[in-house]
A and B are shown apart, each in its own frame.
Chain A
Amino acid sequence: MKAASTLSQTVKAPSQRAWTSPARATGIRPLHVAGVALALAGWQVAGAVRPDFTSSPTLVAAELLRLARDGDLLSLVAGTVGTLLVGWAAAAVLGVLAGFLIGRYRLLAVALEPYLVALYSVPLIALVPLMIIWFGIGEGFLLATIVLATAIMLVFPTATGTRESVRAYGELARAYQVTGRRFLLKVVLPGALPYIAAGLRISVQRALMAVVVGQFLVGHPGLGTLLGDARARLDADEVFAVALVALAVGALLTALVGWAGRRLSAWRPEVTT
C-alpha cells in the first residue's frame, strides 16, 4: 500500500542523488576551475614550443571557426546526431521490448540469457564489416550498426526493472484487478522506467561510437568523416578540433540523457531492496 501511494505522488527519492556524479551533486568547486585553467595554460605553453605536435587552445579555436565556416561543421554534426537519435530510438524500442519479454516470461529468460550474455560481452563494433556486407554503405547501414551495438545494453536493465516492478506491485495490481494492457502500461512500464533510463545512460556513448565508426569506415558524411580527414592529414589543429567536437557531442548527449533520466524517475519509490 505504501509503495502504491508513493508511486502516485511526486516524491523525490533522496537515493536518486547517488546516481549523479559527486561533482554535479556538490556543484563546481574552485579546484575544478583551477585544474581546467592550469591544463589550458599548460597546453598553450606546449603549443608555443611544438605547435605541429600539440597544437594549442588558440590554434584549435581558430581551426574550429574555420571548420564551422568552410567545412559545414555544424550540419555534419547535426546529421550525425540526427542519425544517432533515430537509430538509438529504434534500439531502445527493440531492447526494451526484448527485456520486457525476458523479464516477464521465465522460459524466454532461461532459453535466451546465455546468448544475450554472449552478445553483451562481445565488442559488437567488430560486426561493422558484416553490417557493410548486409546493409551497404548508406543511412540504413548506420542505423543497423547503432541498433546492433546498443539494443543489447537495454535488454538486461529492462528485464531487471520488469522483474522488480512485477515483484513489487504484481500482487497489489491483481488485488485491484489491474490486468492485461493496463497492468503493462500503468504498472510494469513506469516501474521499470528508472532501469530503462539507466540502460539508456550507459548506451549513449556506445551509440555515438557506433555511428562514428560506421561513418569513419564507409565515408558517410558526418563526425566520422571529419575524424577520417583529420587522421589522413595529421594536422594537429584539426586533430584536436575534431576531438573537441566529439567530446562536446558526447558530453552533451550524456548530460541530456542523465537529465531526462532524473526527470523520468524522480518519483521512483525506494523498493529496490
Chain B
Amino acid sequence: MAPARDWAVRIATLAVLLLIWQQVAQRMSAAILPTPARVGAAAGDLLTGGELARAWGQTAVQVAVAMAVAAVAGVGLGLLFGWYRPLDQLLSPLLGALFLTPRIALVPLIALWFGLQDLAKIVLILAFGFFEVFFTVRDGVRGIERSYVELARAYCVPPRRTLRSVVLPAARPYVLTGLRLGLVHALVGVVLAGFFLETSGIGGLIYNLGAAFRTAELIAALLSVMVVGLAVNVGLRRLEIRLTPWQVTR
C-alpha cells in the first residue's frame, strides 16, 4: 500500500473513532463524557483564558531545570560507572534498588526533605528522568565494542584519551536515546508532582479539573499532555536519527 493510502486509512480511523465518541457522548451526561465539540470548545477556553499556558509555563521551567541536572549527572555518572567497573559494582545494588522502587514511593521522602514547592517538584521530576539517562549511558559505555578499546590499548593510547576519542563518540547515540527516554519519563514525574505535591503546573491543573468534575476541560488538558508527549517522543527520535544516522535507535 502506498503511504498516501495508509494515511487515508488512518484519517478514516480517526473519523470513525470521533463518530463513536460523539454517538456515545450524546447518550451520556456531559459530566461523564462530553462530546468532541464540547471538548474542542473547552480547549479553546483553556487556551484563550491562559490557564493552559500558565500551567505549562510553570511545568516547563521545572522540567528544564530537572532535565538539565538529569542530563549532566546522568551522562557524567553513566560514563563513569560504565568505564570504571569497580565503582559500578560498589554502587549498582543501591542504584538498582532505587530504580526498582516505584518512584511514587519517593513522594513522602521528597516531601520530608524538600517540602511541597518547586524544589520538591524538580526533585521528583529528576527522580523520574535521571535513571533512564544514567542506565542507558552506562549500558551503552559497557556495551562498546571491545575491539575498539583493545585497539586503543594496543596502540598505547592513554586511558584519558581513549575515553575522550573512543568511548565518548561511541556513547553518543546512547546519550541521545537516554535523554529522550528520560524526558518521556520526566513527563510522568510532572503529572505526579502536580497530583501529590503542590497543586500547580499541568499536573495540578488536571487534578483540579478532575476534582471539580469539569470533564470537558479535563479531557482537553489531557489532550495537551498527549500532544506534548508525542512531540517529545517522536520529535526527539527524528532528531536522534538525524544526529546519529549510523545507529539503529530503540
Contact = CB atoms under 8 A, between A and B. Distances in A.
Given A205-B102, A209-B104, A239 B112 contact: yes
Interface stretch (B47-55, B85-93, B170-178): B85-93
Interface in B137-188: 142, 184, 187-188
Given A234-B111, A242-B105, A247 B97 contact: yes
Contacts of B93: 23, 32, 35-36
A254 interface: yes
A130 B102 CA distance: 22
B100 A35 contact: no
A112 interface: yes
Contact of A122 (B86, B92, B104, B230): B230
Interface in B169-225: 184, 187-188, 190-192, 195-196, 203, 206-207, 209-211, 213, 215, 218-219, 222, 225
B104 A213 contact: yes
Nearest to A236: B112
Contacts of B225: 122-123, 126
Contacts of B222: 126-127, 130
B96 interface: yes
Interface stretch (A5-13, A88-96, A113-121): A113-121
Contact of B92 (A23, A130, A208, A254): A23
B94 interface: yes
A3 B103 CA distance: 42
A71 to B, nearest CB: 15
Given A125-B188, A126-B222, A239-B112, A110 B94 contact: no
Contacts of B89: 29, 31-32, 35
B229 interface: yes
B105 A247 contact: yes
A85 to B, nearest CB: 15
Given A31-B89, A227-B107, A247-B100, A114 B192 contact: no
A216 B196 contact: yes
A251 interface: yes
Interface residues of B, number: 60
Contacts of A133: 31-32, 210, 213, 215, 218
Given A114-B10, A213-B104, A227-B107, 20 more contacts: A29-B89, A39-B94, A110-B9, A110-B10, A112-B13, A115-B14, A115-B17, A121-B233, A130-B218, A134-B32, A209-B103, A213-B195, A234-B108, A238-B108, A239-B112, A243-B105, A243-B109, A246-B101, A247-B97, A250-B102
Q: Which 6 A-B pairs have the closest CB atoms?
A: A129-B210, A246-B105, A121-B233, A31-B89, A231-B108, A230-B108
Interface of B: 1, 6, 9-10, 12-14, 17, 31-33, 86, 89-94, 96-97, 100-109, 111-113, 142, 184, 187-188, 190-192, 195-196, 203, 206-207, 209-211, 213, 215, 218-219, 222, 225-226, 229-230, 232-234
12 contacts: A29-B89, A31-B86, A53-B112, A122-B225, A129-B210, A130-B222, A208-B102, A230-B108, A231-B111, A236-B112, A240-B109, A251-B97
